[in-house]
Structure 1
Amino acid sequence: MRSFRKELYFNLPARRGLVNITKDVQKAVDESGVKEGLVLVNAMNITASVFINDDESGLHQDYEKWLEKLAPEKPYSQYQHNGYEDNADAHLKRTIMGRESVVAITDGRLDFGTWEQIFYYEFDGKRDKRVLIKILGE
């Protein structure tokens, strides 16, 4: 069994942002040499998410609207967490969207369903963040 580890680094210019990282993850699979196995893609910050869905701009806008209704950024005073920081909403949004995704690797390729892509979603940007890619297989 092989094990391969790689990190992706982000510093998004806005508070929130969505990045399709599918090609980056496939590149890591290629580098690993694994033909059959699993890849874990994990946001390594408590205010960011990795998830799988369709790469469609209307859906991306729907995420923003929906998440903002569930955990609005302002007023900052509505959250007990806010005091030293103003990112309580980012923690809640991450909880909703999830921490990581696992994808099967078949014949050296990410084994997706129709339209599936891997995304990094940042909820408290303008700071250095990272994503862990961990690949296990043969």
Structure 2
Amino acid sequence: MWHTCDLTLKPHPRGFHLITREVVAALPELSTLRVGLLHVFIRHTSASLTLSENASPEVRRDFERYFNHAVPERWREYEHTLEGDDDMPAHIKAALLGPSLTLPILGGRLHLGTWQGIYLCEHRDRGGARTLTLTLQGEQEVRTASSPK
């Protein structure tokens, strides 16, 4: 079975945001898969995706501080500066973290670790709504006449 859809997320402020619930809610078909993969792709060059700690908000704030330190704004060597001080650093951060995740599915659910969650990494001050393409592939549960639906 293959299924794909787009999910448009509301605008988020700059930072690292848990979006696991939104992704799962957009995929009712997920519950029908015995085994499979979910590919999540962000269709933007100044935001990214990653998988990390889903419980402690300090982790998300530390990610933001680290990346702001590692990839500073207003570095005099940047040539691409017409779209604001946060634009070129956003492209670099997005390239480092990446535009996609491929996640395992087992028993109709994402097969993540206890403390893992999907992050939207918003690298712009005003990035706007972000669109994800979600692609499921997998083997559906076999239902027999006596199986509950």
Q: Answer whether contact 2:7 2:26 (CA < 8 A) is retained.
A: no
In structure 1, what residue type is equivalent to 2:78? Y
Count of residue pairs the alignment pairs up: 134
**Counterparts of 2:19 and 2:12 in 1: how far apart (Å)?**
17
TM-score by length of 1: 0.86
SS of 1:35's partner is strand
Aligned to 2:94: 94
Moved more, 120-129 or 88-97: 120-129
User: Does residue 1:8 correspond to 2:7, yes or no?
Assistant: yes
TM-score by length of 2: 0.80
* Structure 2: gaps of 5 or more residues: 140-149
**Counterparts of 1:98 and 1:106 in 2: how far apart (Å)?**
24
Aligned to 1:109: 109
Aligned to 1:59: 59
* Structure 1: gaps of 5 or more residues: none
Q: Answer whether contact 1:47 1:90 (CA < 8 A) is retained.
A: yes
Aligned to 1:27: 25
**Counterparts of 1:112 and 1:129 in 2: how far apart (Å)?**
23
The structure whose Rg is larger is 2
**Counterparts of 1:17 and 1:69 in 2: how far apart (Å)?**
13
In structure 1, what residue type is equivalent to 2:35? E
